[in-house]
Amino acid sequence: MNDRTRVVAAVGLTILLFLGVQLGALALIEPFTESDRQAVENPQNPTNSILYFAVMLAATGLMLAAFRYDLEWLIKLLLVGVSVMISWYVFAELVPPVAGPFVSDGIADGLAIVASLAVGVALLWYPEWYVIDSAGIVMGAGAAALFGISFGILPSLLLLTVLAVYDAISVYGTEHMLDLAEGVMDLKIPVVLVVPTTLSYSYLAAGSTDDVLENGGEETTVEDEPVSEANAADDAALDDTDAATTATGTDSVDDTDAAGTATGTDSADDDSESTALERDALFIGLGDAVIPTVLVASAASFLDLPTAAVPGITVNLPALGALIGTLVGLLVLMHMVLKGRPHAGLPLLNGGAIGGYLLGALASGLSLTAALGF
């Protein structure tokens, strides 16, 4: 497999990982709603987004302090515990319907607990890339669904806008997220999605990631050489949902956001290209997948519109537009980073989600005012 084929395959896997989070969140909307998992009393209150952002900033500061005083082990245990909790939310809804015809409800609930504990054990004892990615999809889908049913349309739009601006400032202005991004990456927990570009790649054998640059909200880099910047911007996400904090700097999901690697062009960027294509893995912040998916889930949950006849999935035209818009933003982002230039992730990803959502909402007959949640 030549270098370009490897990168194309990695980009394809990245898209599949994003789709796993998005479709998983859509599948969890109905069961989470029926189980009353909503984290706030009034999901239409726009101050929910401001409160979440404030908690995220506080959590980021606490994590930076923990890394400074060599308390990485404590952060790892906390985030693995959060991973188990979110996984339990997911398995508690999925296992009983599947196992129900064969076992009692009590046994099905026990199986859900065992499955969620198994996630924690795997993360502690064997955090290989496919373990990290599998846990990341489960947690990302669960977190996005929890936020989606807890944030109405206006709060979701506000949340995505504020985080996109913060992401851009963190990348193009300050650099305070660099230490946090590097520290979280070294913990080998699902704050990132790991995309290998070689069949022989091992995350366990890769060692630490000391050269991660800061990239708009979350980490995206190529193994052994940074390509895009990471900003670790989503650390308070699951605090708001009673689900606690996952492994990326936010309570819900992630300190690493942007997705990318560097390839360069056939002309001016040859050095960038040859360097980037030799690397063995891409790292994509889990928050990059989760944050725009919040809008996808919110649109599917709060808009009274016809839904598509897809078994097990709740999706309407605005939600589908946000989903597609996120993937378009992802492709644009990766195209830019593949040229060897660092970029903030959430402005493109959230911008794509919002643009796709608005197009879908208008196409479904909603007025612009209604689409904005007013």
User: Residue 213 — φ and ψ, nearest 5°?
Assistant: -90, 165
pLDDT greater at residue 356 or residue 275: 356
Interval 214-229 mean pLDDT: 38
Residue 225 pLDDT exceeds 50: no
Residue 233 pLDDT exceeds 70: no
From 346, 356, 347, select the one nearest 321 (Cα to Cα).
Answer: 356
pLDDT averaged over the chain? Answer: 78
Token pair belonging to 315: 């999706």
- Sorting pLDDT into bands at 50, 70 and 90, what band is 231? very low
pLDDT confidence of residue 341: 63
Q: Which amino acid is at 328?
A: V
Beta strands in the chain (DSSP E): 192-196, 213-215, 220-222, 229-230, 234-235, 249-250, 281-285
pLDDT confidence of residue 144: 96
pLDDT confidence of residue 175: 64
Interval 161-174 mean pLDDT: 84
Rounded CA gap, 200 and 197, in Å? Answer: 9
User: What's the predicted TM-score (pTM) here?
Assistant: 0.81
The residue to which tokens 């593949």 are assigned: 338
Residue 254 pLDDT exceeds 50: no
Q: Where are the domains of the chain?
A: 3-371
Q: b/e per residue, 216-252, with b = 16+ CB within 10 A?
A: bbbbbbbbeebbbbbbbbbbbbbbbbebbbbbbbbbb
Write out pLDDT tens, residues 66-103. 877 888 888 888 889 999 999 999 999 988 887 767 77
